[in-house]
Amino acid sequence: MAINIFRIAALVALAGAAACGSSSEKSPWGALGGASGQGGTYGFDGGPLGLGGFTGMGGQTGIDGSTWTPAATCVERASALVEALTPAQRYGQMTTVDSYGLTVSEATSALLGSVFSGGSSDPAGGNTIADWTSLVSSYLDVAKGFAPHVGLLYGHDAVHGSNNVQDAVIFPHAIGIGASFDPALAEEVGRITALEMLGAGINWAFAPTVAAARDERWGRTYESFGEIPEVAGQMGAAMVRGLQNGRLGNGQSVLACAKHYAGDGATDGGKNAGDVTSLDEAAFRQVAIEPYRPAIEAGVGSIMVSYSSYQGTKMTAAKYWLTDVLKGELGFAGFLVSDWDALSQLPGAWPEQVETAINAGLDMVMLSHTWNAHSAADFASTLGALVDAGEVPVERVQDAVRRILTIKCEMGLLDGDTLIDPALTAAIGSAEHRAVARAAVRRSLVLLKNDGMLPLPKSLSRIHVTGSGADSLAKQCGGWTLGWQGLGTAGPATATTRGTTVLAAVGNALAATGTAVTTSGDGSGAAGADYAIVVVGEPPYAEGQGDSAQPTLSSTDVAAIAKVRSANVPFVVVLFSGRPLLLTDKYGVSVLDVANAFVAAWLPGTEGDGIADVLFGDYKPTGRLGFSWPATAEQIPINDGDGQIPLFPVGFGLTYP
């Protein structure tokens, strides 16, 4: 299959709004006053996308094409350590366990080389910064007692900031960063994320997602930088450079983990952890393998293996793709870690699952501790028995441990005890960091429609801010925010974090003008206002819980937009979503058609002031779509170059005069 990133598909107006048929339901829109379809073709203000630094996007040129290799001294040091370790110590290095329910005693007895906190694995006392530093320190103290000294990796899913930690800055999800087409921005976001992680003692980011999302139905679309593999790969490489501060061990860096290798975003029907059967090997390599090459060349130290399958074989079991292709052809010199309890998805009993995965090339096993029946001790004893029986070659174990220790050496973890820098702790959520996130929000917004209403004036009598997302940090941040499924899904139901909603941001922007700011959650109350801002969008979700056969606006959001329209007030729709949504309701009316302006804000995170910056003209919109926007459900999946005409093509984005 060919992907032509230089082709910007022609835009066409949709046919007139479909009739309501024989339904007795009354449309909430009333008379449309002759409006039809999209109301005309929208112009594209820029040129074609270029990969040489994303021409015209203000980005950097990216990688030089050379493959990163670890320092020879670290390889030698790791090799010597492998020989010095007992079998039990080796197996401990090959294991990472979720902190939820894990005790310090268990970590000590299992000789763990790594601990991680899953999406909702908060410290027992809460998820404040102090709670996190206390939790991580307890496991760092365990590692201090191991001889020889082997350091400790502590990981979490830092997919848009250090997002498990309360009051850390939450950046736009990757779908928004990708809309900037600016690798320099992605790198800076990664750099600040690393600093905030280190402030809590966390040194391993399960990020970035370099997979190209090729199906809007996939619940993890927002974790992808875009549908074009080359763009996803280069933006991912930039994030790697930011997290690892250019190179591991280069001061204030964390270990990046490109994910999920391979097949994510291209599964049949967009199913999370599904199977890829529609692509032959050549196409699979182009779509699913090539995005990892820039990250490898940028020096990514770890890669997480996907739950997904290719042609019926789980990637965790695929020696060809893990060893022959990734470690062989692509020259990946870091280590491979499984996804959460991924071994349990393989055929056979536990010993067969362990044998298959390790022989396939997996270097580290990720265990949930509580939810899976198999513990770190089970893994160690099972792997030991397989090695003793000759089912897993001892050389395979040595290679795995050598890879892990080499990366730890590169990080400086073998040089002495790891201490948490109090200055970095104090800087978590700082004004300086939030300023970077605010700039990222501005750069991520894509203006899809503007009849001249935007930018909004600041000298007004009254502006009305309404909709389900107007005052909702949960919708604004999306999944992987404190809780796995988003704010309020872990710990107390009231758990939240510091941030500025759109309502608060509008108030900030107009504070000195005397303009009255009114609000409602359902679209009511707009009558008599000069303008209205309607903020709508998807509720937070993560992974398979976000899979949707028909991603569209909820009826509640459509009703809110209809109420504002009936008030005869000019209004802009701000859409929070983890993917392009279908914008036509069951009556055939496009919410894009009835709004005066429309902004795709994706999942921008905590800094809502960046949205107000664009709405009021303090920053001209520069974002462009990293995804083709489907016009109808029948078009899904839709991708650039597949012969379909989208509602908006990849690269589309308006700006102000």
CA distance 645 to 92: 53
E strands of 134-211, at which residues?
Answer: 153-156, 204-205
Pairing of strands 95-98, 365-367: parallel
Give the SS3 label for residue 404. Answer: helix
Query: From the CB of residue 37, how many other CB atoms can be counted at a distance below 10 Å?
Result: 18
**Which one of 230, 543, 609, 640 is the catalytic residue?**
543
Decide if 141 is catalytic. Answer: no
Of 613, 539, 526, residue with least CA distance to 570 = 526
CA distance 562 to 305: 45
Rounded to the nearest 5 percent, the helix, strand and coil shares of the chain are 35, 10, 55
In the block, residue with structure tokens 């809502």: 608
CA distance 199 to 423: 8
What Å distances lie between residue 590 and 393, 455, 531, 532, 642, CA to CA?
Answer: 61, 22, 20, 18, 24
Give the SS3 label for residue 462. Answer: strand
Tokens matching residue 643: 């012969």
**Which one of 290, 339, 557, 593 is the catalytic residue?**
339
In the block, residue with structure tokens 């293996």: 305
What Å distances lie between residue 272 and 85, 261, 544, 547, CA to CA?
Answer: 38, 13, 5, 7
- Rounded (5°) CA angle 499-479-546: 150
Give CA torsion, residues 460, 466, 472, 476, to 10 deg: -80
In the block, residue with structure tokens 């513990």: 375
Tokens matching residue 491: 């710990």
Question: For the chain, how far is it from start to end, CA to CA, in angstroms?
Answer: 38
Give the SS3 label for residue 261. Answer: strand
Residues 6+ apart with CB under 8 A from 310: 262, 263, 275, 276, 284, 288, 318, 321
CA distance 405 to 250: 17
- Rounded (5°) CA angle 338-341-345: 95
Decide if 607 is catalytic. Answer: no
Tokens matching residue 280: 């032959």
- Give all strands of the β-sheet with 153-156 in edge-to-edge order: 204-205, 153-156, 114-117, 95-98, 365-367
Query: Which active-site residues does the annotation give?
Result: 339, 543
